[in-house]
Structures are given as structure tokens and as C-alpha cells.
Amino acid sequence: MSELRELELSIERARELIATKNAIERLNDDANFKRVILDGYLKNEAVRLVLLKADQNFQSAEDQKQLDKSIEGISYFASFMRTQLQLGRMAEKELADNQEILAEYMQES
């Protein structure tokens, strides 16, 4: 694959990562998303599940296993969202750098 094609693919991938980051940022600003996901799921549901870990009615091995899975699910989702934001931020810099390299390449051609 040529250097130019690799550069174009890198720019395309950076734009995709930035688009995902921007979408997450828009979601984070949306009142419904905040209510249902950020507050309802990532905060309130996480606290509820952690408190159930010590509840007398949820002490069986199966209950504890299910609670752990549910808590891990919340954690993985939150981690996914943070990672996508970070990848998008890094892609913004990469995109700027690659666009500059592409412009220089085009001038030389």
C-alpha cells in the first residue's frame, strides 16, 4: 500500500473516531441521556447493586454472582464511553497532523 493511501486511511479512521467522540459528547449534553444513563444507570443503579451485595435477601452464590455481573456491566460500559472519548481526542491531534502531512505531500507532487 502506498504512503498516500495509508495516510488517507489514517485520516478516514481519525474522522470516524472523532465522529464517535462528538456523538458521545452530544449524548452527554442531552437531558434524557443524563437522566436515564448517566444518573439512572451509571450512578443510581450502580449504587443500588452495590448495596444489594450486603442485603440479607441476596446472599446466595447465584445472587452474588449476578450482582457482580451487573456491576461489571456498568463498569465496562462506563469504561467504553471514556475510552471512546479519549480515542476521539487523540484522533483530533492525529487528524490535524495527517492533514498537514497530506498537504505537504500534495504540494510536492
Q: What is the DSSP string of the chain?
A: --HHHHHHHHHHHHHHHHHHHHHHHHHHH-HHHIIIIIIIIIIIIHHHHHHHTT-GGG-SHHHHHHHHHHHHHHHHHHHHHHHHHHHHHHHHHHHHHHHHHHHHHHHH-
Please give the mean pLDDT across all residues of the chain.
95
pLDDT in tens, 57-86: 999 999 999 999 999 999 999 999 999 999
Residues lower than pLDDT 50 in the chain? none
pTM equals: 0.85
